[in-house]
Structure 1
Amino acid sequence: MITVTVRLMGNLIKISGTSSIQMRMEDGVVIKDLLEEIFRLYGEEMRHQVMDSSGKELAPYYKILVNGRNFNLLLGFDTPLQEGQVIHIMPPIAGG
């Protein structure tokens, strides 16, 4: 078993009621497995926010960082998770 920390931002905090989740996962899990567990815990509203309408890609402008690195620069949804990693799920944020 491994433990990773998931940091949520923006409207994802409202959906989940928290900005940080400690997740215990089986060894050998990947980002896709982590997301499915988050969606199981926090429901379809979370899934609809994070994923596009196909359910196979992130919603536009969403980012997932693994220890500060864009997961698309790693192995995308197949990026393996390791003990102690911090995963940020970041919705688009407007500024100005």
Structure 2
Amino acid sequence: MTKVLFRTFGPPARVAKVHQAEVTFDGFTVREFLAELERKYGEGMSKLLHPRGEALSELIYLLINGKNIFHMSGLDTPVKDGDVISLLPVTAGG
């Protein structure tokens, strides 16, 4: 079992109904962590994470300890006890 601190903002926070929570899951990768979020928070989280069936929506950033997983090993990025995983929407401004 891996225990992490899950932080979220915007639409993901509305779906999860939390801004921060400890999440414990079986596994050691981002992919397994996301499966636990879907199990815990239901269909709303599934639709947010992959609205068109993709592995992870391009409109979502997932950071581990402040680093974007797509600059690491993507969904196969290892997750360790105590990591801080942030799930946030892509934003733009001008």
Provide the residue aligned with 1:41 in structure 2: 40
Identity of aligned residues (%): 30
TM-score by length of 2: 0.87
Is 1:9 matched with 2:9? yes
Q: Are the equivalent residues in 2 in contact too, given 1:66–1:88 (CA < 8 A)?
A: yes
Structure 1, unpaired ranges of 5+ = none
Equivalent position to 2:91, from 76, 90, 93:
93
CA distance in 2, matches of 1:43, 1:25: 15
**Aligned residues: CA RMSD:** 1.6
| Structure 2 SS opposite 1:53 | coil
8 Å contact kept, 2:7–2:86: yes
Q: How far apart in 1 are the matches of 2:92 and 2:70? A: 22
Number of corresponding residues:
94
In structure 2, the partner of 1:65 is 63
Give unpaired runs (5+ residues) of structure 2.
none
Q: Which amino acid aligns with 2:61?
A: K
Spell out structure 1 runs of 4+ moving beyond 6 A: none
Residue number in structure 1 paired with 2:28: 29
Read off the aligned partner of 1:45 and give its amino acid letter.
Answer: G
Alignment-derived partner of residue 82 in structure 2: 84
- Encode CA deviations 1:59-94: one digit per residue, 9 max, x unaligned: 123111010111011111011111110011111235
For the 8 Å contact 1:50–1:91, the answer to whether it is kept is: no
Name whichever of 65-74 and 47-56 sits farther off.
47-56
Cα offset, 1:14, TM superposition: 1.2
